[in-house]
Amino acid sequence: MTNSIDIDKLAERLDTAAANAKATPQLSKEVQFNVDTAYAIQFASMRRRFERGQKMIGLKMGFTSKAKMEQMGVHDMIWGILTDDMLIDNNGSTSFNKYIHPRAEPEICFKVKKTINKQLTKADIPEYISGIAAAIEIIDSRYENFKFSLEDVIADNCSSTGLVLGEWHPIDQAIGDLKIELLIDDTVKQEGSSKAILGDPWESLLAATRLAAQYKWTIPAGSYIMAGAATGAEYIQPGQKVSIKVEALGAVEFKVESE
């Protein structure tokens, strides 16, 4: 199927939509392609960013909620690439003008201490992972009306747009069932548990290494792995303060500037 469509042209279209913060129609409305081709488009799109000087800093996992997998009719997670341009300081700010229709969601993030070039098991975790942090991800589909198919969202780097990281904690911190709240201007909008992330966020980490190995990617030391959303996402607007509170891991927040 990769021979029947112009991967570079579709990648350029998504990259341009992201760079200009201007929505584009769904690719799947015009061409049909499978998951492997979707990842090929994603990689080609991200390569354009790397050529402009952005650097890969990690991976984000998607569809780590079993309910979301059922909703999308899939049986596995998806993943996207994080770049240094996406990082927002904790207690810092970001400009709303960078986004099309952004949403925020609470997550758990892992820090890699040794390059990962294989699928990890639980026994490998202490050797390869150095820390755990509460985190916020900003997702912002480049498609009109935030509508997409499975293949569309993979091609669009799984809507990855921004991340805010909290304080790092030792990996012996229990994270299987932590209470999590997402707040907008100090009002709780979403609440849930880290258990929503595949039953245990560590399972998402292991899945990330499996998918990376499947696509022959290595995960460098110092990389971040975002485990997936623990609650539903909330649209964010200029002037808002967005924050999360994660039991045992602390708080993370940022402000949305109008410019």
Number of domains in the chain: 1
Residue 3 has pLDDT above 90, yes or no: no
Residue 137 counted as domain residue: yes
Residue 118 counted as domain residue: yes
Question: In which band, very low, low, confident or very high, does the pLDDT at 70 lie, cut at 50, 70 and 90?
Answer: low
**Percent of the chain residues topping a pLDDT of 70:** 95
pLDDT at 72: 60
The residue segments making up the domain with residue 82 are: 7-257
- 188-to-162, 182, 224, 231 alpha-carbon distances in Å: 21, 6, 27, 12
Residue 90 counted as domain residue: yes
Q: Which helix (H) or strand (E) holds 15?
A: helix 7-20
Residue 80 counted as domain residue: yes
Residue 2 counted as domain residue: no
Q: Which residues pair with 104 in a beta bridge?
A: 138, 234
Q: What is the mean pLDDT of residues 61-83?
A: 77
Residue 217 counted as domain residue: yes
Range from 59-73, 89-103, 117-131 carrying the lowest mean pLDDT: 59-73
pTM over 0.85: yes
Residue 166 counted as domain residue: yes
Longest dimension (CA), the chain: 51
Residue 109 counted as domain residue: yes
CATH, residue 248: 3.90.850.10
